[in-house]
A = this chain, B = another copy of it.
């Protein structure tokens, strides 16, 4: 009967969060307009979704003006972290490195980006020094 609550956020919620991260605090109208380019959606659909997200603690809202302004509670980076943690557990047996290896094997990464990743590795190795 029951259905386990979707972990972290649903697809539609994620879509709005992405907009909020890129636009900053926004009204329903603004979000709906930004969303329209990708996927036309009714005004009250967006509104309702935001109300639910507010209840769930995904967004907060400023009611000081007539058109309420919504804002993502978690920063984008926090969210990415949470998602990766979840994915690491659920699909990579808890191993971050296996995830990274899979991503590097599959994804197209430019030489520049590879260099950045390499720098991160250096940092991680330096930080881990003497930790054991």
Contacts and interface: CB of A to CB of B under 8 A. Distances in A.
> Which label, helix, strand, loop or mixed, suits the secondary structure of the A interface?
helix
Interface in A80-128: 80-81, 83-85, 87-88, 90-92, 95-97, 99-111, 113-114, 116-118, 120-121, 124-125, 128
Contacts of A88: 103, 107
Contact of A121 (B80, B92, B104, B107): B104
Contacts of A83: 87, 91
Contacts of A102: 77, 80-81, 84
Interface residues of A, number: 47
Interface of A: 4, 6-7, 11-12, 14, 18, 77, 79-81, 83-85, 87-88, 90-92, 95-97, 99-111, 113-114, 116-118, 120-121, 124-125, 128, 131-132
